[in-house]
Chains A and B, each alone.
Chain A
Amino acid sequence: MEIREIYLNLKRDVQKVSDFYARFNLRLEGDVDYLIAVYENDVIAGVGGCAGNVIKGVAVDESFRGANLFGTLISELVSRNTACGYGNTFAFTGPCNDKYFLASGFRKLEDSSGKVSLFEKDKKGIDKYLSSLKPVPGERVAAMVVNANPMTRGHEYLVRTASEENSVVHVFVVSEDRSLFAADVRYQIVAQTCAQFDNVYVHHGAEYMVSGMTFPTYFLKDSDDINQIYTILDARIFGHYIAPHLGITHRYVGEEPLDPVTAAYNRTLQQVLPEFDVEVCVIARKKYRDEVISASRVRQYIREGRIEELEAFVPQATYDFLSSDDAAEVIAKVRQSDSRH
């Protein structure tokens, strides 16, 4: 048994691994930082990879008897992750592989209708995250999860509404660094803007706010609704761990008249969260001159170089950032991209 890295820039390696995946009706996941394969006598017996500290793309040929292929693969992935400096390793997997991750010392966090399970290597990972979130007593505790890429007056309006309607509000900023605006910048802006409300507390989402951006899909069928599956997972983790810890009973989201993906996201939350005694409050979006203020609209203005005109759309903290030298890189990135995010 030998472990070799798949060189993703070499056609021969990519072909070998695609052929391997195809045998199990799986797709080669595009979004991986690296892929490794376990070879038995020069033949690929198993493959697995990582994107950041998330294990993905794991597939093993079970016909190779007597070798602990899965265990070896996962151990190697965790080892490499740790050597990269990650304190924890996560894995999304089809439930048929649950037993392997459990045997490799992972803890199962949640699953999504039997389609996807989320595991973490550090059995106290989520406990440590929760202990960093201080519960604040209040008669009615609410929460919202925002990407805020960048934060707009629309986000601010949602926070203000929640602040007025609840004793305590917890705002989680998604920590995934796949958005145009870096996670720490987004967090700072949200924290600065929310300071005006004395009952609002801002937190990092860390790895426990599942985002569709790193969500692996290679083991799902074409007919599966990927967005719904990861939204259910995200909602279940929120409902199972975060809501009870902070005493959250209400989750605030902005109404989504335009984007079908976000609209579906809201609908799924409304289906899942009541199971955890959390009510979803859908708030109509703030408008500016009859148009909904959205982060994508703000990015459009940035693309068109109309930053001064943004004052009406974004809170002071966002505007200050965009006018600063630090924003030059982000503005350039926005100009070059045309992604939804």
Chain B
Amino acid sequence: MEIIKTATAGSLESSDVLVTVHKADDLEIEIDSTVMAQFGRQIKNLVEATLEQMGVSAARVVVEDKGALDFILKARLEAALFRAAESTDYSWNRGGAS
């Protein structure tokens, strides 16, 4: 999946996460979380796994987390990626929206 523009999904409300995806030359992930110490690593792993699952090798992903559960982060990240790629090629059958 090719990222062609900047897009966001989610919000800064409690329990949610704001994900911003920018076009970039390689993979950059920036994370800011209200529970950085305990979950920073886990968030990064989830982001990396999702990017790989969706075939994204170049993007700048900025995550501003307000305590979102894993599946919420995944949903917001996928939404931002699809928007940033201007794609609607959802593949619900493949166990993920990838």
Q: Do chains A and B touch in the complex (CB under 8 A)?
A: yes
**Residues on A facing B (Cβ under 8 Å):** 68, 71, 75, 78-79, 82-83, 85-88, 103-105, 122-124
**Alpha-carbon distance A122/B61, docked complex (angstroms):** 11
B13 to chain A: which residues have CB within 8 Å?
68, 71
Which one of A85, A87, A104, A122 lies within 8 Å of B12 (CB-CB)?
A: A104
**Alpha-carbon distance A104/B20, docked complex (angstroms):** 13
Q: In this assembly, does B53 line the interface, its C-beta being within 8 Å of a C-beta of chain A?
A: no
Q: Of residues B8, B13, B62, B64, which shows the largest number of chain A Cβ atoms within 10 Å of its Cβ? A: B8
Which one of A71, A82, A83, A85 lies within 8 Å of B20 (CB-CB)?
A: A82
Contact between A71 and B12, CB atoms less than 8 A apart: yes
A87 to chain B: which residues have CB within 8 Å?
5-6, 22-23
User: Closest 5 A-B residue pairs measured CB to CB?
Assistant: A87-B6, A82-B8, A105-B64, A75-B11, A82-B6
B85 to chain A: which residues have CB within 8 Å?
none
Contact between A78 and B8, CB atoms less than 8 A apart: yes
Contact between B20 and A75, CB atoms less than 8 A apart: no
Which one of A85, A105, A123, A124 lies within 8 Å of B6 (CB-CB)?
A: A85
**Alpha-carbon distance A122/B6, docked complex (angstroms):** 11
B30 to chain A: which residues have CB within 8 Å?
123-124
**Alpha-carbon distance A124/B62, docked complex (angstroms):** 10
The A-B contact count (CB < 8 A) is 33
Q: In this assembly, does B47 line the interface, its C-beta being within 8 Å of a C-beta of chain A?
A: no
**Could you tell me the distance in whole angstroms from the C-beta of B7 to the nearest C-beta in chain A?**
6
Number of interface residues of B (CB under 8 A): 15
**Residues on B facing A (Cβ under 8 Å):** 5-8, 11-13, 18, 20, 22-23, 30, 32, 62, 64
Name A's interface SS: loop
**Could you tell me the distance in whole angstroms from the C-beta of B29 to the nearest C-beta in chain A?**
12
B22 to chain A: which residues have CB within 8 Å?
87, 122
**Could you tell me the distance in whole angstroms from the C-beta of A337 to the nearest C-beta in chain B?**
33
Contact between A105 and B7, CB atoms less than 8 A apart: no
**Alpha-carbon distance A127/B24, docked complex (angstroms):** 15
B7 to chain A: which residues have CB within 8 Å?
82-83
**Alpha-carbon distance A216/B8, docked complex (angstroms):** 26
**Could you tell me the distance in whole angstroms from the C-beta of A38 to the nearest C-beta in chain B?**
14
A71 to chain B: which residues have CB within 8 Å?
12-13
**Alpha-carbon distance A86/B64, docked complex (angstroms):** 19
A122-B62, A124-B30 as given contacts; A105 in contact with B18, CB under 8 Å: yes
Known contacts A82-B7, A82-B20, A85-B5; can you find 16 more A-B pairs with CB under 8 A? Answer: A68-B13, A75-B11, A75-B18, A78-B8, A79-B8, A85-B6, A86-B6, A87-B5, A87-B6, A87-B22, A87-B23, A103-B12, A104-B12, A105-B12, A122-B20, A122-B62
Q: Of residues A79, A86, A88, which shows the largest number of chain B Cβ atoms within 10 Å of its Cβ? A: A79
**Could you tell me the distance in whole angstroms from the C-beta of A319 to the nearest C-beta in chain B?**
37
